[in-house]
Structure formats: structure tokens, C-alpha cells
Amino acid sequence: MTLRIAPSVLSADLGRLREQVDAAVAGGAEWIHVDVMDGRFVPNLTFGAPLIRSLRKITDVPLDVHLMVIEPERYIAEYADAGANVFTFHPEATVHAHRHLQEIRHRGMQAGLALNPSTPLSAVEEIVGNLDLLLVMAVNPGFGGQSYLPASTDKIRRARELLDRRRSPAALEVDGGITQETIRDAWRAGADTFVAGNAVFGAKDPGAAVRALLKQCTEQV
């Protein structure tokens, strides 16, 4: 099974962005995660297309963009043009999720849906076949540095069962509270892609932090 770390630049030092991204990638990070928040869907305001364009100039790895915004469809074309590779949004933030998933793919990006802790898996059951990524939020979205919600492990397990049952090749990503202490449970439950912010960019050596996360999933215990 794929094992992928996607460090979130929400926790990066933007004044040292190239240095920190390069270090994380050298340590084995395969994606870079960008959290986009509008201050409406979640109580925080963060990045937009300019940061994606800046990241695209400094790294060739896929940019995994997670939109926590109202009406995410307004940004599909702009983010594709900026260089995003994965475009994930929340089904509660819009009306016609199926249509938007099709448009995301039409623009050359992978299409993902994100589930908040209180959002049931049933919200995506009818459109699993249109997903390239399913993101399970292990915290309530809006801020970095939160603790992993233990109930997320069972939800990850059920999400894996859903994807396998539908024979979906979609990545199963987990975002929120991923550390060396929590990643193994999420991995064993069936997740394959892990967003880590503070655990990577809050460390003195982001590359070593990525390697430590990977080790938690690969070493036998």
C-alpha cells in the first residue's frame, strides 16, 4: 500500500519556505499540503492562489490543496492555473459536489472530498467513483496544532472498507493531529496519506521529522 507524507505549510516559517520545503522533500515527503481557509467555513483566514504559485516555483512535488471555503467551485480554474495538483473540498460547503468533482478532473487536477469529524461517510457514498482522494479530518478544521480525535481511527477504518468495497483507487488521507504517537494507528486503520504540520515544520529538522513519521508506519513492532 502507498505510504505518503504531505507536510502542511500552515505550520511552516514562510520566511524560510524554500528551505523548509526542500528539507521535508529530501526527508521523503511526496506531497506538500496547502490549507486554504476563508474565515467563513472555518474561523481562520489563510492562503490563496499566490502561495500556490510561489510553491510551484520552488518545488516539483505535487501540491495537495485543501479548501475549507464556502463555494469552492469558484476557485477551481484559478487553482489549476496556479499549479495545484490535488483539489479537495468539503461537501457541506457547496451544492453540486458531483459537478465540481468532474470540473476539477477536467482541469487536470485530482479530485478530493473532505469529511469533518461530524460528517458521516454517507456524504460521499454516492460519488466514491468520482474521487481520487478521500480526506478524513481527525480534528475540527480551522487551526493547526490540535490533538488527534481518537474516534477518527474507527472512521478511517470504515472509510477504507468503503473504498475497498467499491474498488476505488482513491487515496485515503488523514489530516489533524498526526504525530509520531498517532500516525501508526491511522496507518493500521487503512490510511495511506498523512498531513502533518507541526510534527514536520515545527521540528528543528523537517527532513528528519518526515523520516520519523515514515518509520512509525514501516518498522515492525
**pLDDT attached to residue 221:** 53
Q: What is the pLDDT of residues 150-173, one digit of tens each?
A: 999 999 999 999 999 999 999 999
Q: Is residue 72 part of a domain?
A: yes
**pLDDT attached to residue 40:** 87
The CATH code of the domain that includes 155 is 3.20.20.70
Question: Structural domain of residue 145, as residue ranges?
Answer: 36-192
Q: Which active-site residues does the annotation give?
A: 35, 175
Q: What is the pLDDT of residues 44-62, one digit of tens each?
A: 788 889 999 999 999 999 9
DSSP sequence for 194-209: EEESHHHHTSS-HHHH
The DSSP element (H or E) to which 188 belongs, if any, is helix 183-189
Q: What is the pLDDT of residues 5-31, one digit of tens each?
A: 999 998 999 999 999 999 999 999 999
The residue assigned the cell 474521487 is 131
Q: Is residue 77 part of a domain?
A: yes
How many domains does the chain contain in total?
1
